[in-house]
Chain A
Amino acid sequence: MAVTSMLFFVSALAAAVVYRRMPARARTPWLLLISAAFLAAWNWQFVLVLAVFGLVNYWLGLKIQNRILSGTLVWKVTGIAFNILILFVFKYNRFFLPSLLKLVGGNEQASALQILLPIGLSFLMVQMISYLVDVSHGRLKAERDLVKFGVYILYFPKLVSGPVERARLFLPKLESPLPFNRDLFDRCLSLIITGLLRKLVLANPLFSLIPADAFTNPGTYAGQHLVLYLLAYAFALFNDFAGYTGIVRGISLWFGIELSNNFTLPYFSRNFTEFWNRWHISLSNWLRDYLFFPISRALLKRVPRRENALNLILPPLATMLVSGMWHGLGWNLLVWGGLHGVYQVAERLPGLVHPSVPLDQRPRWRNALGISVTFALTLLAWLPFRMNLPTAWAYLQRMFHWVRPDFFLFGRYLKAETPWLSWSPLNLPNPILLVLLALALGFDLLLKAQAGEKDLWALPRWLQVLLEVLLGLAILASVFVDATAPFVYQAF
């Protein structure tokens, strides 16, 4: 069930009304019930798979809790291994199953042995690992209430594509949901409207304006078009995921449960450290707390000097490589993660020579340069994120082969000296794509200038109304256009 569908909104609203009117003790079981129903709407078998997955983690949590005094290492490692194994079995099986079957003499084609991939498994895996680690470190007591634990796993607004929630922050919210008042109502609406604007007005059209074969056969396009398609992809990806997060956060507030923010205008980041504080924040914070910091601490214990090469290089590189692998098993994603790791290592190097100036104290020109360089390098890294390595390389090379637009013919068209025949031979960019890119950038600039990040109601009233009218038009237009794109991050 798409989160932009009317069915989803109406069902969630009805569920929230019932939730708000029922006695407090019945609310958590109700959340579990509707979340399971939501999951079953995708596929009823998902409910069974995730129930087993949740029960094992629940049991592991209790085991770790019971051994806090006698040592939890074995159970903690078992728990982490179990969750990684589950991800490999369900998500990454197509990478190793054919070879494995071949090895044991089976039919390689038996990879048609379809293993059901429950939605949101990658997101669940990291949440379960942080839960078990937090229990083992005594930051959190293992949850004994199976219903509450079930809601932590299945809570429908965050199930499909996050945000990645920590149990120690999420579970208390079930006990004391935010009261429904005017402030909450405003925030819900702001998040949902902004989310829908991002998804319906910006992301969907941007995705569909990229030709289907641009990312598989870039050789057929002129360099200037490829640059534009890459820009469109970058903005579409951001608006798609940020839009989705806004919608589910808004809907979650109907139930009084605040979910983590995931994006704060990442393309205005002044360096890569800041970028990862602004892009997919819930995941990058998870990576920071459960990978980057532990690796850094372990290395510092060994050589207690920050300038040490290994201390400098390994934590960001390893963290970003794992981030790449989390997105999927493939060399291209590993390269994407590796590039971001290298970027972060590179920007730490000047700090070895002289103390780095905090971002807020840097001159404006330097921050502008920082934003430009960070954005350009992020853009390049999207190439291996989106396509396999040979194609990404071909795309990169082709980006520098610009073909001179036919301004002469364009001029004749404009002067009506010849009838308009077709657009492609002009080698000019698609004007609609340019308008949408300007709209996407303008929207973010406005939010940055007016509201700090994402509060629609902090914008001038005329602009709020204009955006709402635009959204109304987009929703009405979607009735007549069948060009809906699924949320990209649902694939993870």
Chain B
Amino acid sequence: MPSKPRLKPEHALATPGGFSIIKNLLIPVILLVALFAGLELLARTSFAERLLPLKSFGNYHTQFEIKLQKLEEFARVNDGVDVILLGNSMVNTGIDPQILAQQLSSSDQPLRIFNFGVEGLTVIPMADLATLLVDTYHPKTIIYFTEMRDYLAGNGDDVAQIFLSSDWLQYRLGKRGFLGWLEDHSAALQRLLPLRYWSRADFPDTWLQNMRRYSNTHPDGYEPEIQVSDFDGKLPDPHNTEDQKLFALYGNYAIDPARLEKLRSLIMLREKGTWIVVAEFPAYPGFYTYFGGEQVHADYLSAIADYTREQGGMFLVPISPDLIPLSGRADDHHLNEIGAKLYSGLLAQQLNILCQVQGICLEGK
């Protein structure tokens, strides 16, 4: 056990340098300011872009930030954007804008179409996100792909809450704040923020994963699902524990009126000059078993279509899901690369017919 300590008393320590208010406080502050100014200049060069390709606005949804960065670049290169395809992960991997643009015959020039499918976002954050996109990029059309889960009370609320609480998003939606302003204006901060998770144990993996997703995402926002699926089209099994969770989550399906209100605010963006089309993505029919079967789905579809039209929006009748073979599906609601090619073509056909028969055409520049 310890003997009496032999260490020197603290006050006896030599302090040859000593403390100086100017040297110890002012110089570090000046150095920090100079460092930030230098970083800000550096961040605006192509060198910084090569060194740290990912940008962040402080939002926790990295895939959303990748999409936003790609859209910014897309609009810059193409001098704007005509059509934004909005929706969740089903849209992200399910529609190739390049194929869609090539096969659309409504315009002389190929339309500038961007895929803004963001994982896990329901109609609640989408309404605000659409406002942001319309205010920033003024697209001629937004096709919003919605689905049953968007209107299920409570579903995705946690993601929506975190997503919407971002200082930057709030700033861009009109709520003034210093952090939001800084995240919006500082190029250095935008380049450094993706590194903010550096002290997490999984940082090396997530960083590489994000970089991979960034490079896999096409300049037009499409992120192909390259995994070969073993989806065999079997129906959900009420005895399977994993399926039971989904039955519990989606069973007793009812449309939440508060969420319909969000859809309304999204449709109302037409008042800002953007044409809003509401559509449904062709999930595998078995997917609707969780919600109570095909009839519940049909009732939902009819309710959403009526509501959209009542609000002055346009509802695009979904294609038959049978047109997409199992080999084109990654699971019961996502498409893989094969399915995405197929569906993009089918969607183009559908829009072409709409243009030819009803004269409702997607517009370009």
Contacts and interface: CB of A to CB of B under 8 A. Distances in A.
Interface string B30-51: 0110010000000000000000
The dominant DSSP class at the A interface is helix
A316 B211 CA distance: 55
Given A455-B15, A458-B17, A277 B7 contact: yes
Interface stretch (B101-109, B191-199, B344-352): B191-199
A273 B24 contact: no
Interface in A298-357: 315-316, 319-320, 344
A208 B193 contact: no
A190 B201 contact: no
A105 B200 CA distance: 48
A479 interface: yes
Interface stretch (B153-161, B202-210, B229-237, B243-251): B202-210
Interface in B13-28: 13-19, 23-25, 27-28
A472 B28 contact: yes
A491 interface: no
Interface string A200-224: 0000110011111010000000000
B201 A210 contact: yes
A481 B196 contact: yes
B13 A458 contact: yes
A55 interface: no
A185 B19 contact: yes
Contact of B205 (A422, A455, A468, A472): A422
A464 B16 contact: no
Contacts of A430: 201, 203-204
Tell which of B16, B23, B27, B204 has the most Cβ of chain A within 10 Å: B204
B271 interface: no
A194 to B, nearest CB: 12
A458 B13 CA distance: 8
Contacts of A190: 19
A211 B200 CA distance: 8
Interface in A417-453: 419-424, 430-432, 451-453
Given A208-B199, A287-B1, A432-B199, A468 B19 contact: no
A2 interface: no
Interface residues of B, number: 42
Interface in A435-492: 451-455, 457-461, 464-465, 468-469, 472-473, 476-477, 479-481, 483
A264 interface: yes
A288 B5 CA distance: 11
A465 B32 contact: no
A28 interface: no
B179 interface: yes
A349 to B, nearest CB: 15
Given A273-B3, A469-B31, A480 B200 contact: no
A328 B27 CA distance: 46
B11 to A, nearest CB: 8
Interface in A250-296: 261, 264, 273, 276-278, 281, 284-285, 287-288, 292, 296
Contacts of A477: 196
A239 to B, nearest CB: 14
A186 interface: yes
Contacts of A204: 199
A196 interface: no
A208 B24 CA distance: 30
B236 to A, nearest CB: 31
B15 A479 contact: no
A191 to B, nearest CB: 9
A419 B28 contact: no
Contact of B201 (A208, A284, A316, A458): A208
B32 A457 contact: no
B58 interface: yes
B212 A420 contact: yes
A459 B16 CA distance: 8
Contacts of B197: 481
A284 B23 contact: no
A475 to B, nearest CB: 10
Contacts of B13: 451-453, 455, 458
A189 interface: yes
Contacts of B6: 277
Given A460-B17, A480-B58, A432 B31 contact: no
A483 B199 contact: yes
Contact of A423 (B193, B198, B208): B208
Given A186-B15, A209-B200, A477-B196, A421 B212 contact: yes
A163 to B, nearest CB: 13
Contact of B10 (A284, A453, A480): A453
Interface string B164-200: 0000000000000001000000000000010011111
Given A208-B201, A431-B204, A483-B199, A186 B18 contact: yes
B215 interface: yes
Contacts of A451: 13-14
Given A277-B2, A465-B27, A469-B28, A423 B35 contact: no
B208 A483 contact: no
Contact of B8 (A277, A319, A452): A452
B270 to A, nearest CB: 37
A210 B203 CA distance: 11
A458 B17 CA distance: 6
Contacts of B25: 468
Interface in A216-259: none
A290 to B, nearest CB: 12
Tell which of B17, B28, B203 has the most Cβ of chain A within 10 Å: B17
Tell which of B2, B193, B208, B211 has the most Cβ of chain A within 10 Å: B2
B135 to A, nearest CB: 25
Contacts of B202: 211
Contact of A319 (B1, B18, B32): B1
Contacts of A278: 7
Nearest to A425: B205
A212 B201 CA distance: 8
A316 B1 CA distance: 5
A457 B3 contact: no
Interface string A43-74: 00000000000000000000000000000000
Contacts of B27: 465
22 contacts: A186-B18, A189-B24, A214-B201, A273-B2, A277-B5, A281-B5, A285-B2, A287-B1, A315-B1, A320-B1, A419-B215, A422-B204, A430-B204, A431-B204, A432-B203, A451-B14, A454-B10, A457-B17, A458-B14, A461-B17, A481-B199, A483-B200
Interface of B: 1-3, 5-8, 10, 13-19, 23-25, 27-29, 31-32, 35, 58, 179, 193, 196-205, 208-209, 211-212, 215
Which 4 pairs show the lowest CB-CB distances between chains A and B? A423-B204, A205-B199, A292-B1, A468-B28
Interface of A: 185-187, 189-190, 204-205, 208-212, 214, 261, 264, 273, 276-278, 281, 284-285, 287-288, 292, 296, 315-316, 319-320, 344, 419-424, 430-432, 451-455, 457-461, 464-465, 468-469, 472-473, 476-477, 479-481, 483
